[in-house]
Structure 1
Amino acid sequence: MSLVADVQVASRGLHVQLTVERGETVAILGPNGAGKSTLLAVLAGLLRPDGGSATLGDTVLFGDRVWLPPYDRGVSLLAQEPLLFPHLSVLDNVAFGPRSRGEGRAAARAEALRWLQEVEAEEFADRRPSELSGGQAQRVAVARALATHPQLLLLDEPMAALDIAVTPAMRRTLRRVLTGRSAIIVTHNVLDALMLADRTIIVQAGEVVEMGSTREVLERPRSAFGAGLAGLNLVIGTSVGGGLVTVEGLRLSALAEQPLPEGQEAAAVFSPRAVSVFVEAPSGSPRNVVPVTVSDLDQRGELVSVRAGHLSADITAAAAADLDLVPGMRVFFVVKSTEIALYAR
């Protein structure tokens, strides 16, 4: 089933419009407090919005005086914590959904076992939740969510509470069970979006600031948050001949992927590894020379990340030592125009 939603929660500054096509997984990324979990709570029926509407297939979830309760929506929410019933066995936890729909005990348990097998957790069927590890419990929670045959599956940071050692296995499980299923996954992890999502939406301050295929959003970011996720430098400005100019007057020469008319809002993106750092402004071949003040230095393996506000350069530790870099120092970031991608924002 496809989802079409316009979610408005004025008290939390949220106004998001989105669609999820049948069989599509959409990742929602954004900083803390952006409204991601609030959005899922509204779609799941746990929070009433101030306005808007949402339809799932032919079913109106809310809008125009309609408000379906959670159990009537065909929507399952998988939270960060498994939230399994401690007094029930794993098998009966998963069978709870089918039983709630009126299935007999034997049929519900058979359905539950099928879903436990799907997430490779059938060996835990007779255990209690207290006997499971975090990764095992989350697998059971996935099976319980799927056992209700939801038309839309909502996942709110499903791997946030897992140990790093079990996260890859959980990610593989989700990739398998989400195939062909309509789902929304809220995550902070770029790898989750790349492996699990067909499309990615970035939400900031309660609004959608970017959307598109996951690779497009990460390779051609149009927001500072998206650029940060992708590990790229982003400069926003207005297109001019051969580049762009920012409101502060900084001009960058760049190669546009497609010809841009002058005066159009544009984005210039380049890798920190394409940036050289100089103590004095260099001369010679045409290059972009940007005066900056070093705000922070962070060593990452053999490289040192030199940060200057929203821009950064990755240079070798030896180069950083030769330059004698310290926070507060005035330097020049230099990048060739051929290393900068320019496109309409």
Structure 2
Amino acid sequence: MSLDFTARVPARDFDVRFSLATGETIALMGPNGAGKSTLLSVLAGLLRPDCGSATLDGKTLYDDGEWLAPHTRGIALLAQDALLFPHLSVLENVAFGPRCAGVPRSAARKEAHRWLREVDAADLAHRRPVSLSGGQAQRVAVARALAAEPALLLLDEPLAALDISVAPMVRRMLRRVLEGRSAIIVTHDIVDALLLADRVVIVDGGRIVEDGPTRLVLERPRSSFAAGLAGVNLMTGTTTRDGLRTPGGVQLAALRDRDLPAGEEAAAVFSPRAVAVHRLRPTGSPRNVLAVTITDLEQHGGRTTVRADHLSAEITTASAAELDLLPGAEVYFSVKSAEVEIYLR
């Protein structure tokens, strides 16, 4: 499945062109009002652009004088809220898509059971939506969307309405079921982009301002929004028992309740405010000490961001002056293991 998309909606100052490869997942990001919802609405058939065209796996969704109805496009849209049918059981909610496609009731229910197992919700089959938690309802909504066998899955901030304790479980489920599937995920969360997307597309003012592989966009942002979004330090590599090893051999320790499975692809994330800057190699409590070369300094009032390639520290401007920091200076960044979060990819 491949997607080629162009659309102009002058009333919303929207003018976007992009493509999606077979089996690719895009994280669509940008500030409020940037055009993300407009893009999803046009693709789903809920908004007709003034001009443009879109083809999905060779099928024309719209073009001059041609417009496919939403239910004939092979696209499923998953909103923030699960929007399950309250009068149907979980099983019948998931079976709804196949039934609408003409699949016999018994076969549709069999498919529904399969997808409920895929999202770890098989035990919910005979319950009504009113009895489900937010995380359970979202898993069922994902199963219902996938049971329709869409060529393209659109997810509009699928984790935004979930409790912080539930979101990681649903994120892991999404990572599993999206493997090899074409999808576009609207999100404001850098972790969603990092763990779920192959590529990040940044929209601002109705235009694409940045487009590239997830790691590249997050580590070396070129747009102001991406730079603000990527206001965290990100290091990728493989897990060790107590942290992460990068391809360059850098070891990073994290404070965990349990040992990590070794050898898994993962990412370490920590705030620039958690990083201390030293002229001499520090001794004592910090477990993570990184030798870096300063590439840039940015002053914002009483604080200064010290950049060293794709890593950064945020310290007081007084401290930066006391350390006599300048581009090209060799310094040490230190961060406590308790400040480092490890996410399996």
Structure 2 residue matching 1:314: 3-state secondary structure: strand
Contact 1:289/1:333, CA 8 A, preserved across alignment: no
**1:89 to 1:291, Cα distance in 2 relative to 1, 3 A:** closer
| Superposition pairs of residues 2-41 of structure 1, within 5 angstroms | 2-41=2-41
How far did residue 180 of structure 1 move? Answer: 0.6
How far did residue 232 of structure 1 move? Answer: 6.7
CA separation in 2, counterparts of 1:200 and 1:17? 14
Structure 1 residue matching 2:218: 3-state secondary structure: helix
Which residue in 2 is equivalent to 1:153? 153
How far did residue 337 of structure 1 move? Answer: 3.1
Which residue in 2 is equivalent to 1:197? 197
How far did residue 333 of structure 1 move? Answer: 9.2
CA separation in 1, counterparts of 2:34 and 2:322? 34
Quick check: 1:83 aligned with 2:74? no
Structure 2 residue matching 1:193: 3-state secondary structure: helix
CA separation in 1, counterparts of 2:221 and 2:82? 33
Which residue in 1 is equivalent to 2:259? none
Contact 1:23/1:179, CA 8 A, preserved across alignment: yes
Once the two structures are superposed, residues 276-316 of structure 1 have per-residue CA deviations (whole angstroms, 9 ceiling, x without a partner) of: 9xxxxxxxxxx999795617xxxxxxxxx658xxxx9622x
| Superposition pairs of residues 214-229 of structure 1, within 5 angstroms | 214-229=214-229
**Letter of the structure 2 residue corresponding to residue 142 of structure 1:** V
How far did residue 219 of structure 1 move? Answer: 1.2
CA separation in 2, counterparts of 1:333 and 1:314? 15
Contact 1:2/1:22, CA 8 A, preserved across alignment: yes
Which residue in 2 is equivalent to 1:337? 328
Contact 2:297/2:327, CA 8 A, preserved across alignment: no
Gaps of 5+ in 1: 234-270, 277-286, 296-304, 340-345
| Superposition pairs of residues 65-104 of structure 1, within 5 angstroms | 65-104=65-104
Quick check: 1:211 aligned with 2:202? no
Aligned counterpart in structure 2 of residue 294 of structure 1, from 290, 298, 301 = 301
CA separation in 2, counterparts of 1:49 and 1:333? 55
| Superposition pairs of residues 157-196 of structure 1, within 5 angstroms | 157-196=157-196
Once the two structures are superposed, residues 40-61 of structure 1 have per-residue CA deviations (whole angstroms, 9 ceiling, x without a partner) of: 1110111111111100011000
CA separation in 2, counterparts of 1:172 and 1:205? 32
**1:65 to 1:290, Cα distance in 2 relative to 1, 3 A:** same
| Higher Rg of the two aligned structures | 1
Once the two structures are superposed, residues 55-105 of structure 1 have per-residue CA deviations (whole angstroms, 9 ceiling, x without a partner) of: 001100011211101110000001110000001000000111011001111
How far did residue 22 of structure 1 move? Answer: 0.6
**Letter of the structure 2 residue corresponding to residue 47 of structure 1:** L
**Letter of the structure 2 residue corresponding to residue 130 of structure 1:** V
CA separation in 1, counterparts of 2:38 and 2:324? 40
How far did residue 274 of structure 1 move? Answer: 8.5
**Letter of the structure 1 residue corresponding to residue 158 of structure 2:** P
Contact 2:82/2:137, CA 8 A, preserved across alignment: yes
| Superposition pairs of residues 259-278 of structure 1, within 5 angstroms | none
Contact 2:2/2:21, CA 8 A, preserved across alignment: yes
CA separation in 2, counterparts of 1:289 and 1:186? 31
Gaps of 5+ in 2: 234-271, 279-293, 306-311, 331-345
CA separation in 1, counterparts of 2:157 and 2:300? 36
How many residues in Structure 1 have an aligned counterpart in Structure 2?
A: 273
Contact 1:294/1:331, CA 8 A, preserved across alignment: no
How far did residue 228 of structure 1 move? Answer: 1.2
CA separation in 1, counterparts of 2:324 and 2:7? 42
**1:203 to 1:334, Cα distance in 2 relative to 1, 3 A:** farther
How far did residue 336 of structure 1 move? Answer: 2.1
Contact 2:84/2:93, CA 8 A, preserved across alignment: yes
Q: Percent identity?
A: 60
Contact 2:28/2:36, CA 8 A, preserved across alignment: yes
Contact 2:91/2:112, CA 8 A, preserved across alignment: yes
CA separation in 1, counterparts of 2:80 and 2:325? 43
**Letter of the structure 2 residue corresponding to residue 294 of structure 1:** G
Which residue in 2 is equivalent to 1:302? none
Which residue in 1 is equivalent to 2:51? 51
Structure 1 residue matching 2:92: 3-state secondary structure: helix
Contact 1:7/1:15, CA 8 A, preserved across alignment: yes
Structure 2 residue matching 1:28: 3-state secondary structure: strand
How far did residue 335 of structure 1 move? Answer: 3.8
Contact 2:297/2:304, CA 8 A, preserved across alignment: no
